[in-house]
Structure 1
């Protein structure tokens, strides 16, 4: 699907009963579902060297409607074909017309400092961002079921969808527009139709840093295009929708697309280094801190302990890295297991399947027999059952004699007499 979100509908008026007063159901709005304040803890150091903990509480504001719901209307797409596709809400069968290539200015623009606020989606973890909020035309405000704010580094979504909840495709479109591809993490936008001036680099950086932290900006003044790279992929997705058909300081209509792979070898090395750093950070979170410190050489005491204990009691033997790390990993996994609190070792042996023959069961369960008879034990077997198991002995079952072999039948022979 190209887009998941449906066009925003106008907000229904509040219900009124026969007495002329708002009803109780209508009085409960979405503002009651979200926290009214946010807390921020700041730890500072005073002149005496003591740490002071400050808690700053800010009152959260509701998201404001960007357009008047009474005047908002969804325009039908122009008939550019012979068949109307209700799934994609466009015409097909005629000449292909790309709306991104048309020089039509966007109907609105998002102003984060003025329009952002809490909505119904703030109480639902993993909510998506409002596509119409990014375009500056959402009429719902606080009643919107999507987020009305900028993405942050904590907003992480699967690789097959974007921050607006739209499905990605296996490959990019021919014009590098649309949602994008899930086979490559693209954080760079191509910006065309820029009115070139002497301070064009400062203008591009000022307009695009409104949508998140920018890692790098490159402007080709001879061609009137720019490449903007964000630190977070969700911010690049948000900025692509927010700046589509928008203008800079000279009222030009921008052409915003996904950028192709940079052929510069330095850029490719930089991207490969960033992917390696992300993989290393994921490994650091999956392994113990002491384990990682030894690998990175930040804990010399760990190396000394390994030299002493790495021999495993053998004179002149030092375990290789894979053996030593397997031992450390096994000890770390054992420490994380949840054991039964207060359960004796005998019960763990039985539950773990480490017990021997059935003759050994009564001996293991004898310490719990008195507790079971007194009613204080927590074992599965009662005292009478344990007493009956005392004299239980296992005997091997006699082996059955193999069946006598009968006369062979001439199956499949060439003789028809059978």
Structure 2
């Protein structure tokens, strides 16, 4: 078992170990051609980096699905003669230049995909709405009289005296009693005190 790779990143590079150690120029060229031919059967190969002193190489595909097929198909197989290939998922390149190149390639791929769909990607271009898009109607603001206000007009609830700050209007004693829950439903409010209360005060 060589693992399933990383699900959080789009890994497209395979580590291939167990290559035959070669040093002659012609043998090196034949080995690289064999790598391009054998792994190219499973999808478009972007790059093959062969490290001859370690007898390993890194094969980067254009699509992850191609790398998955190649990993399963080429594991424990022979490349040229009797070698047994050890194929695993490669770790991410720690080189910051390589990381920036990968991010730039991803951005370019997104831009190319959007341009293929007819979307304007220029920074100074106007925003293009879809053809069937309809703007929603704007909400009307609350209108109080002749002026547009976001809050209701509460000037009638306060009285201004001498140009000073508004002060609450003093309500009459009858109005205050009428607002009580146990007030007389007929609207007749008595301000006289009960007899018991009068006796207690005496």
Deviation at 1:269, TM superposition (A): 2.6
Deviations 1:260-303 (A, max 9, x none): 111234422321211111232344356x55x44xx27xxxxxxx
Q: What is residue 406 of structure 1 aligned with on the other side? A: 181
Tell me the SS of whatever aligns to 1:406.
coil
Q: Does 1:207 align with 2:38?
A: yes
**Which of 108, 112, 130 is the equivalent residue of 1:281?**
112
2:19 aligned counterpart, secondary structure: coil
In 2, the alpha carbon distance for the partners of 1:240 and 1:275 equals 23
Q: What is the SS of the residue equivalent to 1:180?
A: coil
- State the 1:203 CA deviation: 2.2
Question: Which structure has the greater CA radius of gyration?
Answer: 2
Aligned to 2:4: 179
Deviations 1:282-331 (A, max 9, x none): 44356x55x44xx27xxxxxxxxxxxxxxxxxxxxxxxx6xx83xx54xx
Cα pair distance change 1:406/1:268, threshold 3 Å:
closer
1:59-78 correspondence runs (5 A): none
Question: What's the offset of the Cα at 1:211?
Answer: 1.1
Give the RMSD, CA atoms, in angstroms.
3.0
Normalising by structure 2, what TM-score? Answer: 0.58
Counterpart of 1:194 in 2: which secondary structure?
coil
Q: In structure 2, what is the Cα distance between the partners aligned to 1:285 and 1:202?
A: 34
- TM value normalised by structure 1: 0.30
Q: Distance between the aligned counterparts of 1:266 and 1:337, measured in 2? A: 42
Shift in Å at residue 207 of structure 1? 1.5
Q: Structure 1 stretches (4+) deviating beyond 6 angstroms? A: none
Equivalent in the alignment of 2:78: 247
Unaligned 5+ runs, structure 1: 1-99, 101-176, 297-320, 339-351, 355-402, 409-418
Aligned to 1:218: 49
Q: Deviations over 1:328-373 (max 9, x none)?
A: 54xx34x4149xxxxxxxxxxxxx8x9xxxxxxxxxxxxxxxxxxx
SS in 2 for 1:248: coil
Q: Secondary structure of the residue that 1:336 maps to in structure 2?
A: coil
Query: How many aligned residue pairs are there?
Result: 137
- The one-character-per-residue Cα deviations of 1:151-187 (angstroms, maximum 9, x if unpaired) are xxxxxxxxxxxxxxxxxxxxxxxxxx22222111111
Going by fraction, where is strand more abundant, 1 or 2?
2
* Structure 1 Cα separation of the partners of residues 5 and 77 of structure 2: 20
Gaps of 5+ in 2: 140-177, 184-202
Q: Give the distance between the partners of 2:95 and 2:48, measured in 1 at CA.
A: 15
